[in-house]
Structure 1
Amino acid sequence: MSDPQLPPAAMYIAGAWHTADETFPVHNPADGTLLAELPVARPEDLDLALAATADGFATWRRTQPWERSRVLRRIADGIRAQAERFALIMTLDQGKPLAQSMGEVLASADQFDWYADEARRVYGRTVEGRDAGTRIFVSREPVGPVAAFATWNFPALLGVRKIAPALAAGCSVVLMAPAEAPLCSLLIAEIAHEAGLPAGALNVVSGDGPMISRHLIASDVIRKVSLTGSVPVGAELLRLAADGIKSVSMELGGHAPVLVFADADAERAGRLCARTKFRNAGQVCISPSRFLVHEDVAEAFTEAFVAETREISLGDGRDPATDMGPLTTARRLAGVHALVEDAVANGATVLAGGGPADLPGGHFYLPTVLSGVDDDMRVMAEEPFGPVAPISTFKTFEEAVTRANATPFGLAGFVFTEDLTTAFRAAEELETGMVGVNEMTIATAEAPFGGVKQSGFGREGGTEGVQDYTIAKYVNLRLRSA
């Protein structure tokens, strides 16, 4: 397989590519090879990006919605036209298998497609006045320039979930490319440039994350902050945004419970849960991560789950035979193994995996299944963000829901049952922003994505996604007396 043409090893500011004296390396997590050296933004680079996004906003907000729609559609078409190149760059950059990279690339195109339509449907309303001479109007205006921060596990989609609705609303964006997997952010900028997006409407910077976030958020230019990342990072950006009274959206960590009730098809649920759990090596914010199974079907579920796990092939994501690639960073590898070691030390049993894989060069961890876990173990309380699946049992509906809700996270939850009453009750009582019932592929452009509690607030996707980048303006008009 030939190497793809990488995007420019530069920042994208004001419609042009910019380098810097200092750089940082980007490595392939499967074999450690050097892919690129990207610039570390200096304060003056960030000031240039802020000036560009201010100018871009002045232009883009006045671009008519139908024209904004056409540009977004061209970006979607451009992503699809370069899907094979895009997917291979993603696999080199982040490590996931090519088929999963292709799925993410096409999902990114879907976001631009969806918001190309939503750009024309940012509706206001009229309100009846209290007398014959009063007219009341409410319009939706773009909130202003956006500072967007997205993490590395979905290096295209997470940034696009911010860029597409922001542009649809008429906002401009400064995106910080995630240092662990930055190349996809640059490729998005390249495609947007080719699609005719005006200079400054999208800017992409790279380098020292804490410095970049502090500098951007402190600027009076930025009027909204959007983050997909961890709870600690979210808390820090909230503090920074509070100083400037800036609008904020947060999509933070998750620890998704899976409730498998006694009437579920336990074998089907076990195999589906295993396939979903180990997608992207478990590095998914809505990945199922706590499996609470009714004691009557626990044996059948666990046997199916373990059998499916043992069929997973580890390797370089460029190999079509690979089902699961490496973890993206050495830090993630160590973190996952620490959770497994803690569980085993406190009485859990390893049914599959249990440690780093004996593969050269990369951050590979065996897909791991644990039984005999209890809720006091770290793996049941901390977001694993890796290929480890703890299975526990329950006796009653009330126990299952109580335990499912007993974490500070509330992003997604999953339910397996054939009973409609159980399905509705569980979906309503789970303290999460999203629920999948007998289904685990729930993220889609046309539906709102987001959480509650420490998993954040605001929504990406659906009609709700574009609303988060607008403000309501109210006008009260007094007619001239007849």
Structure 2
Amino acid sequence: MTDYNADLALFVDGSWRIGEGRDAHAVVNPATGGTIAELPLASPADLDEALAAAERGFAVWRATDVETRGGILRKAASLMRERADTIAQTMTLEQGKPLAEARGEVLSSAAMFDWYAEEAKRNYGRVLVRPAGQRSIVVKQPVGPVAAFSPWNFPVYLMAKKLAPALAAGCSVICKPPEETPGCTTAVMHCLADAGLPAGVAQLVFGVPDTVSRHLIGSRTIRKISFTGSVPVGRHLMHLAADGIKRMTMELGGHAPVLVFDDCDLEKTLDMVVPQKFRNAGQVCVSPTRFYVQSGIYDAFLDGFAKRTANVKIGNGLDAATKMGPLANVRRPSAIGALVDDARSKGARILAGGERGDGGFFFQPTLLADVPDSADIMSNEPFGPVAVTARFDIFDEAIEKANRLPYGLAAFAFTENGRRANLLGDAIESGMVGINTFAISGHDAPFGGVKDSGFGSEGGPEGLDSYMVVKAIHQA
């Protein structure tokens, strides 16, 4: 992007819309705290036009053959790869994550478009057994126009996880990305437009979140809502959707437990868990957070974790030496500081970090030991660079601790015992479980939670199915 401000716009019915008297939102660089742009916000008229365009776009797109739809998705993916460096720099400027992480996110998003371009060809129905001369078939058809709400922590990837399967299924989409990171998400929409996506098939709007969600969800045009975000906001959107009986996919918060058994490969485990904990400054819905460590290796685990944490270099994500950038907005350092202070007041020990960083929205990589269940941070997801630890003795105790909360998005465990690994996979209440790995998000695998962490899946064939309705056709 040559002119950051000039590139911030709404995209409605195939045209870009800039300020033109619209209200604006200040976009802030979290590494400095300074304003870098003014983002135009959608008016009620813009939202009405987006809805009308999505309705027209759906009629066109659902009738477009799957090869043509797939070709446009693949072209968009190719353009994302060509523009990856520029999109990544914009993301780092807006969101703060290290440049290498941002670039990896863009490339993974492009691969998501490629995967669904092919998966759409495997959207099979079935033929039922009937007497001679009769036919009964089951087909899948696109659900209709979709309202997609995505957050700021992975602004490109989480928008792509909604856009790619929805477009592959034949739906039109109105995307409402976060106002904190508009430039990188706008760049993705440019890729789709430049790839030849017909007008009206995808729109991009920004605005006051509650105002936009009420307007879109309240419209009869929208037939499906996809949301990634917090549990309270998810509940609110579910209430809004209830009157229209609209289908929903909810990927809500988590508080991922990590069970570390004394037979694990300790050094290898530590080498994995520390970078994962502080990836994206801990602002990851599946970030490993509650570390329950078996007593036999508890002290050694803490020692190794603390030493590695002290070596995590924090700074501006545009600096190649940076391993952890700032938090994404001005609210987060204070919120995390309050959780750390509460834990300390209830007996937790701070073995690393525990303080705000210098300038911008930084918070030091932090390790807390001996954290009691009564500490707020053991029940409330910090969504930041804080690891909390406690010990356990036996398997059943570990499972009880892991399943203690009403959340169930992701969970992890480390053990070299194969039978124990099987039991862990069965006993942990979570939509995703990683055993000796953090690689739980793949294009071909469902991603979603249970309990208060939501319902429905993104990724895999399940992600495509969530944008389809099933129809049975009987012929005598």
TM-score range, shorter chain: over 0.9
Distance 1:161 1:206 in 2: 18
Measured against aligned partners, the alpha-carbon deviations of 1:274-310 in whole angstroms (never above 9, x if no partner) come to: 1100000000000001000000011221111111111
Code of the aligned partner of 1:376 = S
* Paired residues of 2:39 and 2:179 also in contact (CA < 8 A): no
Hey, what does 2:93 align to over in structure 1?
92
Hey, what does 1:118 align to over in structure 2?
119
The DSSP-based 3-state class of the residue aligned with 1:296 is helix
Hey, what does 1:463 align to over in structure 2?
461
Distance 1:389 1:380 in 2: 10
User: After the TM superposition, which segments of 4 or more aligned residues of structure 1 sit over 6 Å from their partners?
Assistant: none
Measured against aligned partners, the alpha-carbon deviations of 1:93-129 in whole angstroms (never above 9, x if no partner) come to: 1000001101111110111011010121111110112
Distance 2:255 2:2 in 1: 36
* Paired residues of 2:27 and 2:94 also in contact (CA < 8 A): yes
The DSSP-based 3-state class of the residue aligned with 1:275 is helix
Code of the aligned partner of 1:25 = A
Question: How do residues 32-47 of structure 1 correspond to structure 2 at under 5 angstroms?
Answer: 32-47=33-48
* Paired residues of 2:88 and 2:184 also in contact (CA < 8 A): no
Measured against aligned partners, the alpha-carbon deviations of 1:335-380 in whole angstroms (never above 9, x if no partner) come to: 11111010001010000001101x22x1000000000111121111
TM-score by length of structure 2 reads 0.98
1:60 aligns with 2:89: no
Hey, what does 2:178 align to over in structure 1?
178
* Paired residues of 2:346 and 2:372 also in contact (CA < 8 A): no
Measured against aligned partners, the alpha-carbon deviations of 1:114-162 in whole angstroms (never above 9, x if no partner) come to: 1010121111110112x32321100000000000001110010111100
Distance 1:305 1:273 in 2: 8
CA change 1:7–1:134 in 2 (3 A) is farther
> How far off its partner does 1:406 sit?
0.5
Distance 2:406 2:79 in 1: 40
> How far off its partner does 1:32 sit?
2.3
* Paired residues of 1:415 and 1:427 also in contact (CA < 8 A): no
Code of the aligned partner of 1:226 = S
Code of the aligned partner of 1:18 = R
> How far off its partner does 1:36 sit?
1.8
Code of the aligned partner of 1:356 = R
> How far off its partner does 1:19 sit?
2.8
Hey, what does 1:140 align to over in structure 2?
140
Distance 1:464 1:418 in 2: 31
Hey, what does 2:51 align to over in structure 1?
50
Hey, what does 1:426 align to over in structure 2?
424
Hey, what does 2:159 align to over in structure 1?
159
> How far off its partner does 1:271 sit?
2.7
Distance 1:371 1:252 in 2: 27
Hey, what does 2:291 align to over in structure 1?
291
The DSSP-based 3-state class of the residue aligned with 1:288 is coil
* Identity in percent: 50
Code of the aligned partner of 2:442 = T
Question: How do residues 66-77 of structure 1 correspond to structure 2 at under 5 angstroms?
Answer: 66-77=67-78
> How far off its partner does 1:3 sit?
7.3
Code of the aligned partner of 2:468 = T
> How far off its partner does 1:7 sit?
6.8
Measured against aligned partners, the alpha-carbon deviations of 1:45-98 in whole angstroms (never above 9, x if no partner) come to: 100100111111111111000111111101111100101001101000100000
1:280 aligns with 2:261: no
The DSSP-based 3-state class of the residue aligned with 2:122 is coil
The DSSP-based 3-state class of the residue aligned with 1:180 is coil
CA change 1:367–1:3 in 2 (3 A) is farther
> How far off its partner does 1:448 sit?
0.8
Distance 1:75 1:215 in 2: 29
Aligned residues: 474
Q: Which runs of 5 or more structure 1 residues have no equivalent in the other structure?
A: none
Hey, what does 1:368 align to over in structure 2?
366
> How far off its partner does 1:6 sit?
6.5
Distance 2:258 2:167 in 1: 35
Distance 1:333 1:292 in 2: 25
Distance 2:34 2:376 in 1: 33
The DSSP-based 3-state class of the residue aligned with 1:476 is strand
TM-score by length of structure 1 reads 0.97
Hey, what does 1:448 align to over in structure 2?
446
* Paired residues of 2:8 and 2:182 also in contact (CA < 8 A): no
> How far off its partner does 1:40 sit?
1.6
Q: Which runs of 5 or more structure 2 residues have no equivalent in the other structure?
A: none
